[in-house]
């Protein structure tokens, strides 16, 4: 009987030890992480346990040569300090929630599912090692690594700034993704590295995990400078690589650099010719001349299905693209506007930059926003700004600008809309709508309208009453995901007049 009781006791103790705990720092004995009496559980945290350090004033230390481990780490306390001494390391398999005090030293992110860095405060660490193949997502604030970022898995900056002193590792599956883990790219934040005069660094970055688009920067002349790189997917043209690199400097001017941009073959445009391409600056959705001679030549192979192009003598930094040399630079449209004048006419104005090579323009008009017809042809002059004026119709109208360069290439402006002299019916635009969350609804008179949006099966997506002004009104769609397909928006005005509008979501 005694043997059975002993075995049962050992079994229960083993079961208790396997339970995950929340270990809260209480201190009082010393400042050593690995002293059990410093935790409210009376045990040193393991990688299965959550850790909370929230005392207003406390000092927690992992000593030289020692290690600590936890699942989720919550760190607060205005004057509290969590430090990992040189030679020590803190291994985290869950998330970091950092909300104040100081947190310093070497940290290893060693989970097996996506790990999050949360919190309100910017986080500064020494060495930061990512061994998790699923990666780390920055969902809180900016982050600075004063030592080395070791990449054996991806880190998603998610629009935040990740500043590092050095990087080791980095590959097509383990790099700094300047977007998020859902495939959404971001042009803000990114990866920052400071280069001394003559210094060089590789920025292992990409817009999404499926697109590795690294950058190498050499600070060939000028003072020490902090360069920041973010990458976004882009559909600039079919004769370009379909991503843009946003390269910035902390202090504009005073530096000359060499840029080497790398891309995967899978994001080349359908007509892109890597045997004759160069790096160009980007303005909006157009490639523009920047005052230097584009260095047109064949791209260099940097691995299986990967290519790179280099540009030297760069003195100003912004967005960059890799494009073919067509002999004629694309037309860069600075603006296109349609306005209603006091004389009840449509004033259509546009401007291009001085380096564009247009042959002519055509102002096109549409009643439904889908089928456009040419309205007036304007031949290019030795000027950058143009305008035409024409009578307003009685109905709501859509306008766009067709631009034809001297090689016959055609590009279009975005569509602009304007109401007529007398609106006779309710309309909605843009229609079709591509991944939009806001429409515009045009009404013939001011008043209260009941709106009901439903799909083809008759299922209502929203129903509400709104006060709408005569003319154009914004209409926000529900925030829940909207699948592609055909929908119907029914409107009933204060007189009981009902209209049903067909809406196509692409």
Q: If pLDDT is split at 50, 70 and 90, which confidence band does 11 have?
A: very low
Strands 123-125 and 102-104: unpaired
Strands 143-151 and 128-130: parallel
Q: If pLDDT is split at 50, 70 and 90, which confidence band does 481 have?
A: low
Minimum mean pLDDT range among 9-13, 22-26, 263-267, 389-393: 9-13
Mean pLDDT of the chain: 84
Quote the CA–CA distance of 224 and 231 in Å, as a whole number: 23
Quote the CA–CA distance of 273 and 265 in Å, as a whole number: 11
Q: If pLDDT is split at 50, 70 and 90, which confidence band does 83 have?
A: very high
Give 339-385 pLDDT, tens digit per residue.
888 777 889 999 988 767 788 999 998 877 777 889 899 998 878 89
DSSP 346: E
Q: If pLDDT is split at 50, 70 and 90, which confidence band does 485 have?
A: confident
Q: Decide if pLDDT at 302 tops 80.
A: yes
CA distances from 349 to 319, 341, 342, 401, 481 (A): 27, 12, 16, 10, 37
Minimum mean pLDDT range among 19-28, 105-114, 150-159: 19-28
Quote the CA–CA distance of 469 and 482 in Å, as a whole number: 27
Tell the CATH superfamily of the 333-418 domain: Immunoglobulins (2.60.40.10)
Quote the CA–CA distance of 357 and 328 in Å, as a whole number: 7
For residues 322, 325, 329, 333, the Cα torsion angle rounded to the nearest 10 degrees is -30
Strands 205-206 and 81-84: unpaired
CA 452 to chain centroid: 33
More confident residue, 494 or 320: 320
Give 304-345 pLDDT, tens digit per residue.
889 999 998 888 888 888 888 654 556 888 889 988 887 778
CATH topology of domain 427-505: Immunoglobulin-like (2.60.40)
Residue listed under structure tokens 């799909």: 455
| Mean per-residue pLDDT, 232-242 | 77
pLDDT number for residue 424: 55
Q: How many CB atoms lie within 10 A of CB 79?
A: 12
pTM of the model: 0.63
Element (H, E) at 3: helix 2-18
CA distances from 393 to 167, 345, 417 (A): 62, 9, 12
CB of 184 closer than 8 Å to CB of 165: no
Give 165-189 pLDDT, tens digit per residue.
999 998 989 999 998 888 887 778 8
Give 185-228 pLDDT, tens digit per residue.
777 889 999 999 999 999 999 999 988 999 999 999 999 999 99
CA 238 to chain centroid: 22
Residues 6+ apart with CB under 8 A from 176: 151, 154, 155, 157, 162, 170, 190, 191, 203, 204, 205, 206
Taking alpha carbons only, the member of 265, 300, 253, 306 closest to residue 279 is: 300
Quote the CA–CA distance of 226 and 224 in Å, as a whole number: 7
Q: Decide if pLDDT at 421 tops 70.
A: no
């Amino acid at each position: 009987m005694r043997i059975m009781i002993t075995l049962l006791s050992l079994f229960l103790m083993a079961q208790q030890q396997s339970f995950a705990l929340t270990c809260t720092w209480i201190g009082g004995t010393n400042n050593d992480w690995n002293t059990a009496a410093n935790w409210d559980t009376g045990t040193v945290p393991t990688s299965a346990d959550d850790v909370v350090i929230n005392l207003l004033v406390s000092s927690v230390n992992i000593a030289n040569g020692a290690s600590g481990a936890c699942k989720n780490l919550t760190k607060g306390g205005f004057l509290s300090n969590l430090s990992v001494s040189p030679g020590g390391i803190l291994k985290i398999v869950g998330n970091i929630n950092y909300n104040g005090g100081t947190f310093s030293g070497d940290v290893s992110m060693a989970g097996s599912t996506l790990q999050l860095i949360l919190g309100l405060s910017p986080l500064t660490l020494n060495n930061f090692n990512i061994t998790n193949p699923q990666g780390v997502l920055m969902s809180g604030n900016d982050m600075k690594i004063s030592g080395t970022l070791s990449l054996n898995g991806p880190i998603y900056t998610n629009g935040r700034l990740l500043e590092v002193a050095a990087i080791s590792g980095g590959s097509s599956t383990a790099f700094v993704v300047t977007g998020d883990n859902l495939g959404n790219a971001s042009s803000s934040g990114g990866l920052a590295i400071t280069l001394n005069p003559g210094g060089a660094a590789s920025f292992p970055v990409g817009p999404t995990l499926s697109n590795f688009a690294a950058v190498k920067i050499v600070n060939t002349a000028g003072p020490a400078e902090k360069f920041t790189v973010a990458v976004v997917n882009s559909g600039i043209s079919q004769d370009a690589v379909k991503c843009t690199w946003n390269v910035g400097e902390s202090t504009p001017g005073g530096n000359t650099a060499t840029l080497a941009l790398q891309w995967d073959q899978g994001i080349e445009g359908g007509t892109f010719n890597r045997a004759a391409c160069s790096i160009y600056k980007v303005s909006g959705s157009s490639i523009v001349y920047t005052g230097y001679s584009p260095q047109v030549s064949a791209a260099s192979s940097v691995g299986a299905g990967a290519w790179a192009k280099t540009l030297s003598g760069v003195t100003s930094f912004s967005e960059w693209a890799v494009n073919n040399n067509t002999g004629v630079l694309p037309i860069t449209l600075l603006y296109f506007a349609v306005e209603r004048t006091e004389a009840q006419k449509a004033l259509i104005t546009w401007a291009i930059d001085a380096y564009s090579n247009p042959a002519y323009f055509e102002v096109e008009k549409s009643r439904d926003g889908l089928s456009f017809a040419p309205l007036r042809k304007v031949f290019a002059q030795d000027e950058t700004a143009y305008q035409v004026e024409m009578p307003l119709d009685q109905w709501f109208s859509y306008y766009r600008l067709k631009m034809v360069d001297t090689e016959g290439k055609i590009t279009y402006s975005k569509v602009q809309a304007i109401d007529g002299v007398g609106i006779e019916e309710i309309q909605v635009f843009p229609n079709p709508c591509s991944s939009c969350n806001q429409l515009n609804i045009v009404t013939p008179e001011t008043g209260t309208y009941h709106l009901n949006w439903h799909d083809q099966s008759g299922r209502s997506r929203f129903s509400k009453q709104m006060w709408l002004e005569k003319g154009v009104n914004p209409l926000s769609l529900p925030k829940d995901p909207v699948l592609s397909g055909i929908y119907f928006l029914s409107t009933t005005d204060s007189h009981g007049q009902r209209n049903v509008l067909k809406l196509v979501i692409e």
